[in-house]
């Protein structure tokens, strides 16, 4: 059975079966901007509510079996919270995913965490890293995703070279505490909140630090953490080539780190990124890439936006997988620019929604997850149950 605009359904089904994406706990909570927080009555305010919402997304889409956790927001009591999380995993059928240390929220980190000039504060930050790794072990979570807000705002106020050394040392110690199955994913960001220099500002710095940390460290690419018009798929190609790509935090942006739903601004970019990954796979290059979402749904409904993102990710992943790479390689070799671009763009413009709907139907999933969510009344029910409590909670997550 073939569709005129896509590859064989059987091939497409295999591709869709292989795709899973992790959703973030903080995507279900009340969030906002530096100017204020926007409260939604259906927002999750407890770790159980976050697991319940994650389970609803997985029920609707079938491809989100794990939920990323932020240590201070989701595990404020440290290891004491692990038994509760394990019980929630069993109850809701969603596992704890990547563990995200929080090295940016405390007042002590005003001048940095792992890069702070104070040895005492650097040690506190390192202790938090080791504590996060220990919790990840107890939860059998593979990835520890590290993002630092460390940096400075004014020239001459910090020694950039000393901070490199402090960071290398901290990551080496952290790496030594990883279990054999665990990974340390090093994220980067060019600016914000630091505006003169950021200690991990680009993929080259992150790659160097990961290599210095040890063989279980890789680079994490957040699609919002780049300068405007930067060629992110080229960065992905380099990281794949060097074996340093560990995973993604997917979102979209118009200006900077906007945390918009994936594909809402530039779906072609996500398609191009997935294409590079599929190219590496087709060439037999081994890699383990974690697909994760990192979005802040300030205006859209939390669960609706997450379902929308997951469905878009599936479609773009499938589109990129169906590029005729053998034919494309021949056109590239011949420098037939127009034909190569038209073949590439043609895959992007294919309407793969019918085959994705067929795959969902074959798996016993709702053919239209968003419509099924609306029909279920889930959002309205939790809004009634959580409304007053959500409005009363003032913390970020």
**What six digits make up the tokens of 376?**
């279920």
Question: In whole angstroms, what is the distance from residue 200 CA to residue 245 CA?
Answer: 16
The domain that contains 301 carries what CATH number? 3.20.20.150
Q: Has residue 2 been placed in a domain?
A: no
Range of the domain at 202: 9-392
- Does residue 360 lie in a domain region? yes
What pLDDT does 389 receive? 74
Neighbours of 130 (CB within 10 A): 16
Is 153 within the bounds of a domain? Answer: yes
Please count the structural domains in the chain.
1
DSSP class of residue 100 equals: E
**Domain assignment present for 298:** yes
User: Alpha-carbon distance 344 to 233, whole Å?
Assistant: 14
- Which distant-in-sequence residues (6+ apart) come within 8 Å of 374 by Cβ? none
For strands 23-24 and 66-70, give the pairing.
parallel
**Within-domain flag for 4:** no
> pLDDT tens-digit profile of 31-75?
887 788 889 999 999 999 999 999 999 999 999 999 999 999 999
Q: Is residue 1 part of a domain?
A: no
- Strand ranges inside the chain, DSSP E: 23-24, 31-33, 36-38, 66-70, 95-100, 143-146, 151-152, 183-187, 197-198, 217-222, 245-250, 290-293
Q: Is residue 341 part of a domain?
A: yes
pLDDT given at position 35: 82
Flag whether 3 is in a domain: no
What angle, 0 to 180 degrees and rounded to 10, lies between the N-to-C axes of helices 47-61 and 369-376? 130
pLDDT beneath 70, residues of the chain: 1-7, 390-397
Residue 385 token pair: 């149950």
């Amino acid at each position: 059975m073939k569709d005129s605009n896509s590859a064989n359904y059987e091939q497409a089904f295999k591709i869709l079966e292989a795709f899973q994406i992790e959703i973030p706990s903080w995507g279900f909570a009340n969030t906002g901007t530096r100017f204020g927080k926007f409260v939604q009555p259906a927002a999750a305010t407890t770790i159980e509510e976050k697991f319940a919402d994650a389970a609803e997304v997985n029920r609707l889409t079938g491809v989100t079996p794990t939920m990323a956790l932020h240590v201070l927001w989701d595990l404020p009591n440290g290891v004491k919270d692990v038994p509760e999380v394990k019980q929630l995993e069993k109850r809701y059928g969603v596992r704890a995913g990547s563990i995200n240390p929080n090295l940016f929220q405390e007042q002590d980190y005003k001048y940095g965490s792992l890069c702070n000039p104070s040895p005492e504060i650097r040690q506190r930050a390192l202790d938090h890293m080791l504590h996060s790794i220990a919790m990840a072990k107890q939860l059998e979570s593979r990835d520890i995703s590290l993002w630092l807000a460390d940096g400075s705002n004014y020239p001459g106020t910090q020694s950039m070279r000393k901070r490199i050394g402090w960071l290398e040392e901290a990551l080496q110690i952290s790496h030594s505490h990883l279990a054999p199955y665990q990974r340390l994913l090093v994220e980067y960001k060019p600016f914000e909140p630091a505006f003169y220099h950021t200690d991990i500002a680009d993929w080259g710095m992150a790659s160097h630090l990961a290599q210095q940390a040890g063989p279980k460290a890789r680079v994490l690419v957040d699609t919002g953490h780049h300068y405007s018009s930067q060629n992110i798929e080229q960065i992905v190609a380099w990281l794949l080539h060097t074996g340093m790509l560990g995973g993604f935090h997917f979102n979209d942006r118009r200006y900077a780190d906007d945390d918009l739903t994936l594909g809402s601004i530039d779906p072609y970019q996500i398609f191009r990124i997935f294409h590079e990954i599929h190219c590496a796979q087709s060439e037999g290059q081994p890699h383990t890439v974690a697909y994760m979402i990192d979005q802040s749904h300030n205006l859209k409904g939390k669960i609706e936006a997450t379902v929308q993102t997951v469905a878009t990710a599936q479609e773009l992943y499938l589109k990129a997988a169906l590029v005729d790479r053998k034919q494309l390689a021949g056109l590239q070799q011949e420098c037939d620019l127009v034909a190569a671009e038209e073949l590439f763009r043609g895959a992007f413009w294919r309407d793969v929604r019918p085959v994705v709907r067929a795959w969902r139907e074959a798996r016993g999933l709702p053919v239209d997850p968003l419509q099924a969510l609306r029909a279920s009344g889930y959002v309205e029910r939790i809004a009634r149950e959580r409304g007053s409590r959500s409005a009363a909670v003032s913390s970020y997550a």
